[in-house]
Structure 1
Amino acid sequence: MYPTRPRSALRTAVVWEVVRAALERRSAELERPVLEVVDTGGGTGNFAVPVARLGHRVTVVDPSPDALFALERRASEAGVTDLVRAVQGDTQTLPEVVPAGSVDAVLCHGVLEVVDDPAEALGSLTGALRKGGLVSLLAANRTGAVLARALAGHFTEAQAVLDGPDGRWGTGDPMPRRFTGDELAELASGAGLRVVSVHGVRVFADLVPGVLVDTEPGATDALLRLELAAAELPAFHAVATQLHVLAELA
């Protein structure tokens, strides 16, 4: 099961498979079928609802009331309203709504790029975890953006992403910040986390023309298998659009 429709699964399948397997392992270790999960910046429930469908309780903390409204509608349609709680807030207010040491897993997808202080934000998230708790980090990859800008013919912008302190290609770049794998690992370590695995996300999905995937028979499934296989190979991490880090609280 993937969190979104088949075409969208090309972008989310790797993360979902890692998260699903990690939650399954943690549940077995604790001998507890229901885990407490926080999805910060979880928006409309792209991951929260599938996690709830696994039987876990999920608190989604997001600053957008519209996104949370859509989350509640999606949870209702999936029949998991009793397992999903929507809370308006962000990483700064998280300690006010989630007690310290009360959570088994935290999903932090697309958040570190936009917060004022990534280290502080990650510290707030880990503060909510029980010992051995899991953190799923998904963030924009700096080196992947270099490749994307270069392939688009924007060589000066590619150089700016490579050299700039935040991995941005200019003032018009909608992404406030991008990370290398080493930078994400350093952030995780600074928050008291041990990195369990690193995967490349959207290694090929953003490079292959959409018309090819949509019109070639079997292309979506074949590309999906390729994404899953390449994600685990460090050689492909540098060209991925995003990096996914699974870590645990030491």
Structure 2
Amino acid sequence: MRAVGISRPSATPAVRTAVVWDVLRAVLADRVAATGRDRLDIVDAGGGTGGFAVPLAGLGHAVTVVDPSPDSLAALERRAAEAGVGVRALQGDAADLKEILPTDGADLVLCHSVLEYVEDPAGALGAIAGLLREGGAISVLAANPLAAALHRSIAGRFEEALQVLDDPQGRWGDRDPTPRRFTCETLAVLLSAAGLTPGEVHGVRIFADLVPSRLLDGEPGAARALVALEQAAAAHPVLRDIATQLHVLGRK
């Protein structure tokens, strides 16, 4: 059996996504071993232009992207063509998943930067849970309010930082482009309510959003060193909680 599920994408993982790829590679390897299938069925809900979908298809998996934006799906198809892989693109949003995809048909569903924007996060996770086969997993990536407070304070926006901490949705004001943010605890509650078992939480972009880009551009090996730092800190019980995004797996 070809060990497709445990291969690393051909490109060096980007600083901002390295931690997520670490988790996904482990999930794919476990699922390949459990099912005996080296071609898994993956759904990327809100997958946009295919930043995750195309590399996953490049690993040999059957990937479907569902996204409400026709422009994003067109860009996805161009990216997939350039990479020489096939990705199925469907227009729709989280509320449409039950109607456009089969029940119990997915080994892995990505839900990255989606819960912040859907009208009903609990309903979206419930719909995603229905797509998963027994033993399948959902990969959730969501914005963290503690990081938003930290970043607003660094920018000198102290009142907005305080607003993030006081606001139930973790927003810093009416001009905040993110409708809601999630803590580790709220993500766990949502996953459990959808009938899924929450797994370990990892912090994503703990340092990456605090480091000036000029430091990465001007120093050979700096990006790789920052990736190593992010990976080492991802599960740290304190540093994890100030990450820009939180990543958690839910298992069926």
Bin the TM-score by the shorter chain: over 0.9
Q: 1:106 aligns with which of 82, 90, 109?
A: 109
Task: Write the mapping of 1:183-202 to structure 2, written as runs, cut at 5 A.
Answer: 183-202=186-205
Regions of 4+ moved over 2 Å: 1-6
Task: Write the mapping of 1:49-198 to structure 2, written as runs, cut at 5 A.
Answer: 49-81=54-86, 84-198=87-201
CA contact 2:48–2:69 (8 Å) conserved in 1: yes
Count of aligned positions = 245
1:31 aligns to 2:36 (yes or no): yes
Q: Cα offset for 1:216?
A: 2.1
CA contact 1:2–1:13 (8 Å) conserved in 2: no
Q: What is the CA deviation profile of residues 148-199 of structure 1, one whole-angstrom value per residue up to 9, with x for unaligned ones? A: 1111111100011011011000001011110111000110111111122210
Separation in 2 of the partners of 1:186 and 1:65? Answer: 32
CA contact 1:112–1:139 (8 Å) conserved in 2: yes
Provide the residue aligned with 2:5 in structure 1.
Answer: none
Q: Counterpart of 1:15 in structure 2: which amino acid?
A: V
Q: Cα offset for 1:5?
A: 6.8
Q: Counterpart of 2:82 in structure 1: which amino acid?
A: E
| Gap change, CA 1:224 and 1:2, over 3 Å in 2 | farther
Aligned-residue identity in percent:
60
Q: Cα offset for 1:237?
A: 1.4
CA contact 2:141–2:248 (8 Å) conserved in 1: yes
CA contact 1:44–1:71 (8 Å) conserved in 2: yes
RMSD, aligned CA: 1.3
For normalisation by structure 1, the TM-score amounts to: 0.95
Separation in 2 of the partners of 1:148 and 1:197? Answer: 25
Q: Counterpart of 2:19 in structure 1: which amino acid?
A: V
Question: Partner of 1:234: helix, strand, or coil?
Answer: coil
Q: Counterpart of 1:131 in structure 2: which amino acid?
A: E
Task: Write the mapping of 1:231-250 to structure 2, written as runs, cut at 5 A.
Answer: 231-249=234-252
Separation in 2 of the partners of 1:189 and 1:238? Answer: 20
> Any unmatched runs of 5+ in structure 2?
1-7
Q: Counterpart of 1:61 in structure 2: which amino acid?
A: V
